[in-house]
Chains A and B, each alone.
Chain A
Amino acid sequence: ETGVTQTPRHLVMGMTNKKSLKCEQHLGHNAMYWYKQSAKKPLELMFVYSLEERVENNSVPSRFSPECPNSSHLFLHLHTLQPEDSALYLCASSQDWVTYNEQFFGPGTRLTVL
């Protein structure tokens, strides 16, 4: 596997379900990101982890809970979501957080909340 991978690619869940999105980067990067991409809206940065420490939380509702167990893996735990949370969730990584490195993106998880 190369680059940034995300699983699952598609997820349908009810509002009472608990699910998790997984992201893995094979680039040796130190920073990882979660973005939300909704239709007709710019990408929204949700969370940033640098060296496994959360350094950014962009006013994201608590029903989204990130976890970064090591520098290669990033999870987004989902609980009691709303239909408006349906979107494409993109994971990205970069060499580190404090320079201008480009970010490398995974293919995303298409989430549908019923």
Chain B
Amino acid sequence: AQKVTQAQTEISVVEKEDVTLDCVYETRDTTYYLFWYKQPPSGELVFLIRRNSFDEQNEISGRYSWNFQKSTSSFNFTITASQVVDSAVYFCALSEDGKTSGSRLTFGEGTQLTVNP
């Protein structure tokens, strides 16, 4: 069975600090996808990134960057120069092979990030 662990329940930083959100996953599939979603106070989950299991290249998008390491089964998310608007709950998720069971996402428990001015 697949599992996603986000060990950090809550993180609080001061604006402009860098912060890394950890995500560790378990799966027996060799083909899988990893996702990060942001849930602001308004409620809807906002898609941030998708990474497939064959692409370990790190990705940067503005102040956001992601570090995917299959050797440690981790897919960590870093926000550089954090801003108050980054305050939200962030979810890491894993999708198993869609050929047999469809696009079923397993979510971690989420990390509540608070960025203080």
- Residues of A participating in the B interface, judged by any CB pair closer than 8 Å: 4, 31, 40-43, 45, 48, 50, 55-56, 88, 90, 92, 94, 96-108, 110
Contacts and interface: CB of A to CB of B under 8 A. Distances in A.
Contact of A94 (B4, B42, B103): B103
Contacts of A108: 43-44
Interface in B68-117: 91, 95, 98-99, 102-110
Given A40-B109, A42-B107, A107-B44, A102 B35 contact: yes
A98 B103 contact: yes
Contact of B99 (A42, A98, A105, A106): A98
Nearest to B105: A103
B44 A100 contact: no
B110 A50 contact: no
Nearest to A50: B102
